[in-house]
Amino acid sequence: MKTATLRLAAVLALSALPFAAFAQDEEGSPFSWSIDATSDYVFRGASQTDEGPALQAGFTWTASSGFYAGAWGSNVDFGDGGPDVELDTFIGYNTDLGDEFVNLDVMLNRYNYLGGNGSDLAFNELYTTLTFGGTVGLTATYTNDVWASGEDGWYFGASTSFGLPADFTLDLNVGKSLFDSSVARDYTDWGVSISKAWGNFSAKLGYVGTDNDGTVNFGELANDRVVLTLSYGM
């Protein structure tokens, strides 16, 4: 189960959501897109592809007013009879607050699943992200139908990024998922990654995992793991 934000919240978005939308330059095109190949599609610490690789693509339109809309897709593997594709559709609003040190992003994401019993798994989630100085992000999400269970679910995340020599970037993130006790145990996920961009191409090597409650919820799918992601986008 997964998401998108604008560049302002890219670090946190990549840890809390499965996809990231890229804001256009002031004089640039309102359209942006990305194609990713990853060794494992991990969302909030748990593999969505049964620990296998994934191909992903996203497309976003952003208005000069700050409103945006788009879609993002990936293959998934939830076992026999499960869906084969996740297709997220989203709308949102992004704006700077005050002296532009603080950025606000509010987004409604629809998780859609195609194939198998996918039509039974769709649900909505509302995201609110505050980014400070372009490097520290705080996100809170809410859904009244987490994993199409009919129950409430919350997610609280924090992230930060640091520039390293040779134009590498170090990203750190941690998040907490909260559920009704009938759905799953509350659990913590975390990640640390190093990335580098060459023009429109980028590569990221991360190490991600969950606490023991995450392992209870998802079994081996929540084990600590290394994830390599290669991306190309404009």
> Domain for residue 228, yes or no?
yes
Q: How many CB atoms lie within 10 A of CB 10?
A: 21
Look at phi and psi of residue 215 and say left if phi exceeds 0, alpha if psi is from -120 to 50, else beta: alpha
pTM, full prediction: 0.88
List, for residues 100-115, the tens digit of each pLDDT value.
899 999 999 999 999 9
Structural domain contains residue 1: no
Does the residue 174 lie in any domain? Answer: yes
* pLDDT tens-digit map of 176-197: 999 998 999 999 999 999 999 9
Is 2 within a domain? Answer: no
What is the domain-level CATH number for residue 37? Answer: 2.40.160.40
Residue 174 CB neighbour total at 10 angstroms: 15
- Asked if residue 130 belongs to a domain, the reply is yes
- Per residue in 17-67, pLDDT (tens digit) is 444 444 444 458 999 999 999 999 999 999 999 999 999 999 999 999 999
Task: Tell me how many domains the chain contains.
Answer: 1
Q: Within a domain: residue 138?
A: yes
Collapsing DSSP to helix, strand or coil, 152 comes out as: coil
Range with the poorest average pLDDT among 17-31, 80-94, 145-159: 17-31
Range of the domain at 223: 7-233
Is there a domain that residue 55 lies in? yes
The verdict on residue 133 lying in a domain is: yes
